Chain A
Amino acid sequence: MPNPLNELLRQYLTVAIFAGLGLAMVGAMLGVGWLLRPDRPEPQKYINYESGVDPLGVMWSQSQIRYYVFALLFVLFDVEAVFIFPWATRLEAYGAFGLIEMAVFIFILALGLVYAWRKGVLRWV
């Protein structure tokens, strides 16, 4: 009887080979490009690329903290959506239990939103 563990490891071997090949491919492509391309350095070429416009200010500029809150809220509801879509496809199977369950889930998330709203986080100061 084959050892189940060895079977498992054999499957991982495929993954390892695949990963190794992938790395080799990337290395080969970059290496070929490095060998073939002409090399003519100019100062312009070393400037950060900002959609073709000349960059302004330092590289480590701070972004508004306000965006952070919105990014967070977005992630929150994004995750919610990720849960709700598969749930919706199977709602019939889950029945009333599933409905209540999702209601609880949405309630808790909505509570978070209410909290943020009452706390004044949503105001664009």
Chain B
Amino acid sequence: MIGVLARLAQDTGDGILVPAEPIQAGVTQIATPEIQWVALLPHLILVVGGILLLTIASLFRHRVPRWAYTIYTVAVAAGAIIAALPLWVRVQDAERGPFSAIAGALGVDGFSIFITVIICAGVILTALLADGYLKREGIDGPELFVLLLLAASGGTIMASANDLIVLFLGLEILSISVYVMAAMHARRFTSLEAGMKYFILGAFSSAFFLYGIALVYGASGSTNMIRINQYLASPTGVVLSENGLLLGGFALLLVGFGFKVAAVPFHAWAPDVYQGAPTPVTAFMASAVKAGGFAAMLRVFVLTFGTFSGDWQPVVFALAVLSLLVGSVLAIVQTNVKRMLAYSSIAHAGFILVGVEVATEQGTAAALFYLAAYTFMVVGSFAVITVVGRKGDGHHELSDYRGLARRQPVLAFVFTILLLAQAGVPFTAGFFAKFYVISAAVDAENYSLAIIAMVSAVIAAFLYLRIMISMYMSTDSEAVTGEPDRVPVPLAAGIALFVACVVTVVIGFVPGPITDLANDAVPFLVQVG
């Protein structure tokens, strides 16, 4: 696995497509790149953890209790976070700073570590959520957990990739795992449909992405981001803006990223897939998959193509505006809560795109803060939806939430906090997430985008109010007719909810620490060391 990465990086790092050398009798050993195992540790823990789980599960099927899988997954993700902490200390050390590993294939900087931790947090929460879900739905087996870990490793590789090919590798590991996860609930027709749709459109977007890489390679002569960046900054590179090859590459890469992060107009798959996929998987898609996609987007566009920001910014501007408005407007006309949150996650993607569009350090830090805050808000929200979905994962209409506040006031209150956080009400993480993004836009004197973003936030607020109305303000006559029973909240899901809710509120009161971390997590392009 690692060697493959290294090999790819080395071959492409030279910037030339080397034709196979003629086979000779006297063989010279190929120099293998030095591998900094410490730098790889978080990725390795996730990958090996996933493979090990699959091995154990294959050999000792039905002999391991289900909760053991959950604990194992949580432990592996926590291990990856712990392994990332020394790296953070190292890259923040002024003398040592960020570095690149395996011949420049992976960059280890604050940015990649920050995203790694976000993704691992998403894995932990999703695993806790999946525990009760799998039991309730009678889906046996640890496949979901295996895929969860593998997908997470893909996401972390995307975030650290210093080379477009490695980036693509991470993207595919992430995507293919999530395709299968989306179709995990094989007895539900909609789940299969979701998996199929996601697979076809995802494969399509991967093709766009790959073609974009090819065009950028054609224009710049390398897939290594450092070399691309250097080439574009050089006098020969500047001329390139006048021909279509590089711009075509930008466009295709943007299409690929647009699909992955579900930005309008590449969002069409998102509502169906979010609605159809098993709810814990939806939570994972909305949090970790988005984080991985945005991490790669920030690194590729803001950092690598930073010198050409004038060329791609207008397009990202359009993506952001469309996502903000279309996402929030379409969200309010839905009646299915899962679908509502799918559209709202499109609007949230628009907010993060604002952070990408401004193409400044503040913008990047704001996007990172948003991703961190959003991960907890959205996983928490989908945790409530998982629980309320009942057996069969099908009770997601607004009417299913009617009178929830009367039956289960605590659950309703937690959901209210999470929804208010998504709406950006003060004293929640969501407020500061929006605040930082808007301040980055204002700082870049991009007032129009800031205003559009705030207007879309108000439109989206109506959607969260609609859910709250259902929970709290159903009239008595409605309550009498066919009010559903209480829903059980499994212990693990309860823990996930508690953690998500507490983090959301705590960040809302004391955003300072996360702000400082996000500010320190500036991405770097590091020379091949």
CB–CB under 8 A between A and B in the complex? yes
Given contacts A5-B243, A97-B3, A101-B3, contact A118 B27 (CB under 8 A): no
Which of B1, B32, B55, B243 sits near A97, CB closer than 8 Å?
A: B32
Using a CB–CB cutoff of 8 Å, the interface residues on chain B facing chain A are 1, 3-4, 23, 27-30, 32, 51, 54-55, 57-59, 61, 218, 243, 245
From A13-21, A38-46, A108-116, give the one contacting chain B: A108-116
From A23-31, A52-60, A68-76, A86-94, give the one contacting chain B: A86-94
Does chain B have a CB within 8 A of A47? no
Does A118 lie within 8 Å of B30, measured CB to CB?
A: no
Specify the chain A residue showing the minimal Cβ separation from B243.
A5
User: In the complex, how many angstroms separate the beta carbon of B140 from the nearest chain A beta carbon?
Assistant: 10
Excluding A100-B3, A105-B4, 7 further A-B contacts by CB distance (< 8 Å) are A93-B27, A95-B30, A101-B3, A111-B54, A114-B55, A114-B58, A117-B58
Does chain B have a CB within 8 A of A8? yes
Tell me the complex Cα distance, A48–B54, Å: 47
Specify the chain B residue showing the minimal Cβ separation from A86.
B20
Does B58 lie within 8 Å of A111, measured CB to CB?
A: yes
Tell me the complex Cα distance, A79–B30, Å: 24
Does chain B have a CB within 8 A of A104? yes
Which of B30, B51, B55, B218 sits near A93, CB closer than 8 Å?
A: B30
Specify the chain B residue showing the minimal Cβ separation from A97.
B32
Given contacts A5-B243, A97-B3, A101-B3, contact A108 B51 (CB under 8 A): yes
Q: In the complex, what residues of A have CB within 8 A of residue B23's CB?
A: 89-90
Does A94 lie within 8 Å of B30, measured CB to CB?
A: yes
Q: In the complex, what residues of A have CB within 8 A of residue B54's CB?
A: 111, 115
Taking residues whose C-beta sits less than 8 angstroms from the other chain, chain A's interface range is 20 to 34
Does A93 lie within 8 Å of B29, measured CB to CB?
A: yes
User: In the complex, how many angstroms separate the beta carbon of B334 from the nearest chain A beta carbon?
Assistant: 35
Does B58 lie within 8 Å of A115, measured CB to CB?
A: yes
Which of B1, B29, B55 sits near A95, CB closer than 8 Å?
A: B29
Give 11 CB contacts A-B under 8 Å. A5-B243, A5-B245, A89-B23, A93-B27, A93-B30, A101-B4, A111-B58, A114-B55, A115-B54, A118-B58, A119-B58
Does A111 lie within 8 Å of B55, measured CB to CB?
A: yes
Q: In the complex, what residues of B have CB within 8 A of residue A97's CB?
A: 3, 32
User: In the complex, how many angstroms separate the beta carbon of B471 from the nearest chain A beta carbon?
Assistant: 41
Specify the chain A residue showing the minimal Cβ separation from B62.
A118
Tell me the complex Cα distance, A89–B22, Å: 11
Q: In the complex, what residues of A have CB within 8 A of residue B29's CB?
A: 93-95
Q: In the complex, what residues of B have CB within 8 A of residue A93's CB?
A: 27-30
User: In the complex, how many angstroms separate the beta carbon of B142 from the nearest chain A beta carbon?
Assistant: 10
Does B1 lie within 8 Å of A104, measured CB to CB?
A: yes
Tell me the complex Cα distance, A89–B32, Å: 18
Does B61 lie within 8 Å of A118, measured CB to CB?
A: yes
Does B59 lie within 8 Å of A114, measured CB to CB?
A: yes
User: In the complex, how many angstroms separate the beta carbon of A9 from the nearest chain B beta carbon?
Assistant: 9
Tell me the complex Cα distance, A95–B29, Å: 7
Tell me the complex Cα distance, A118–B243, Å: 55
Does B245 lie within 8 Å of A92, measured CB to CB?
A: no
User: In the complex, how many angstroms separate the beta carbon of B285 from the nearest chain A beta carbon?
Assistant: 24
Q: In the complex, what residues of B have CB within 8 A of residue A89's CB?
A: 23
User: In the complex, how many angstroms separate the beta carbon of B355 from the nearest chain A beta carbon?
Assistant: 34
Q: In the complex, what residues of A have CB within 8 A of residue B58's CB?
A: 111, 114-115, 117-119
Q: In the complex, what residues of A have CB within 8 A of residue B57's CB?
A: 115
Does A118 lie within 8 Å of B4, measured CB to CB?
A: no
Does A111 lie within 8 Å of B51, measured CB to CB?
A: yes
User: In the complex, how many angstroms separate the beta carbon of B474 from the nearest chain A beta carbon?
Assistant: 45
User: In the complex, how many angstroms separate the beta carbon of B385 from the nearest chain A beta carbon?
Assistant: 30
Specify the chain A residue showing the minimal Cβ separation from B47.
A108
Specify the chain A residue showing the minimal Cβ separation from B55.
A111
Tell me the complex Cα distance, A118–B59, Å: 7
Q: In the complex, what residues of A have CB within 8 A of residue B218's CB?
A: 8
The 6 closest A-B pairs by CB, nearest first: A101-B3, A92-B27, A115-B58, A118-B58, A114-B58, A97-B32
Q: In the complex, what residues of A have CB within 8 A of residue B61's CB?
A: 118-119
Specify the chain B residue showing the minimal Cβ separation from A92.
B27
Specify the chain B residue showing the minimal Cβ separation from A115.
B58
User: In the complex, how many angstroms separate the beta carbon of A87 from the nearest chain B beta carbon?
Assistant: 11
Q: In the complex, what residues of A have CB within 8 A of residue B32's CB?
A: 97
User: In the complex, how many angstroms separate the beta carbon of A105 from the nearest chain B beta carbon?
Assistant: 8
Tell me the complex Cα distance, A114–B58, Å: 7
User: In the complex, how many angstroms separate the beta carbon of B150 from the nearest chain A beta carbon?
Assistant: 11
User: In the complex, how many angstroms separate the beta carbon of B348 from the nearest chain A beta carbon?
Assistant: 36
Q: In the complex, what residues of A have CB within 8 A of residue B59's CB?
A: 114, 118
Q: In the complex, what residues of A have CB within 8 A of residue B4's CB?
A: 101, 105
Tell me the complex Cα distance, A5–B218, Å: 9
Tell me the complex Cα distance, A29–B61, Å: 61
Q: In the complex, what residues of B have CB within 8 A of residue A8's CB?
A: 218
User: In the complex, how many angstroms separate the beta carbon of A15 from the nearest chain B beta carbon?
Assistant: 14
Tell me the complex Cα distance, A8–B58, Å: 51
Tell me the complex Cα distance, A95–B32, Å: 10
Does A104 lie within 8 Å of B3, measured CB to CB?
A: yes
Q: In the complex, what residues of B have CB within 8 A of residue A105's CB?
A: 4
Tell me the complex Cα distance, A118–B58, Å: 6
Report which residue of A89, A93, A100, A108 has the largest number of chain B beta carbons within 10 angstroms of its beta carbon: A93
User: In the complex, how many angstroms separate the beta carbon of A38 from the nearest chain B beta carbon?
Assistant: 45
